[in-house]
Structure formats: structure tokens, C-alpha cells
Amino acid sequence: EALADAAERYLAEGFEAMKVRFRRGDWRDDIRALEAVRGRIGVRLELMVDCNQGWRMPWDVEAPWTLKHALMVARELERLGVYWMEEPLHRADYDGMRALRDAVDLRIAGGEMARELSDFGELIERGCLDVLQPDVALVGGITGLRRVAHLAQAHHLTFSPHTWTNGMGVVANAHLAAGLGETPFLEFP
């Protein structure tokens, strides 16, 4: 209910999309929370889901997902009309991300911890992602971020800068995104 309340507030404030973090322990509880949102607001907000499986923090006590788990979750997210599934597997599981991407119609997003342009090149070459999410604070500043945006454009992928580090990162990511277009994320057909 709290997540559905938040979605209503964001909608009333004029937001067109909302990203939801999965962190309730059991992914089925996260799916129930998304169902509550969809039940309340329908499709008036685009929903993205961060599965938080790309890298582990000390407080992550649940076992990381396998491809089988990620595929089960992806099927539920497809049913709920979610725009993207972020970090569904460990960031180095290239084969798993490719297999997941090939198995579902849902966009697969990631790359928030990638530090080199070559990291994004490998993710692209191996067919792992639909949405590239570099963080300006990690990928070489605004210049590095622009390079990733150009890679996304050249490969017809969505580009959406990712920020969780600090206020300067938010400003830099937003500055570049605003310079490339008017939407919170950019799709290059």
C-alpha cells in the first residue's frame, strides 16, 4: 500500500515513470507490491524495477539469483508491463544476461558499476543489455558518460545515466541527459 501511495503522489506531481527497488527478501513479495501499484494507478506510470543483483553489499543476506530465478521474475514483470528489469544477475554473468535477454521481451538494464568504456563494449558485444546505465562518477566523468551515450546510439540501445553516489553525480548525469534529449532516458531506434 505504501508503494501504491507513493506512485499516486509521483503521478500527481507530474512524473511519468517510477523505478522500484526490489528488497523485500522474497521476490514474490516485491511482485505483490508491484501488483498493488498497478491495481491502484493502472498504466498511468511507466514502471522500472531494480533487482539489485548486479553486485553485493555487506547487508545483502539473501542468496543471489540464478538465471532460473531471474527468468521467473522477468515473466512476472512482463505480465505487469514493466519497462525494464535492472541488474537481474551479477554484473559479470554475461552468458546469463544474454540468455535472459533472449528469453524475454522485457528490457534488461545494467552497467551502473562499469568503469571503463571497454566494459560497456563487452556488454554490448555479448548482447547482455537493452539499457546502458553508466554512472558519471565511475565511468570517467562527463566525457566518459558521453562516450557511453554514443555507444548506445550506435547500437540502438536505450541510455539512462545511473546515480546513487552523491549530489554532484546527480547533477552531472542530469546535465548530460538534458543535453541529449528531454526524456529521463533515451531510446535510440
Catalytic site positions: 162
Distances in Å between the Cα of 77 and the Cα atoms of 37, 128, 175 are 13, 18, 30
- What is the layout of strands, in order, in the sheet containing 84-86? 17-21, 46-50, 84-86, 107-110, 131-132, 158-159
- Asked if 131 and 160 touch (Cβ cutoff 8 Å), the reply is yes
The distance of Cα 60 from the centroid of its chain, to the nearest Å, equals 19
Rounded-to-integer distance, Cα 31 and Cα 54, Å: 19
- Could you give the 3-state DSSP secondary structure of residue 46? strand
Which residues make Cβ contacts (< 8 Å) with residue 38, sequence separation at least 6? 47, 80, 81
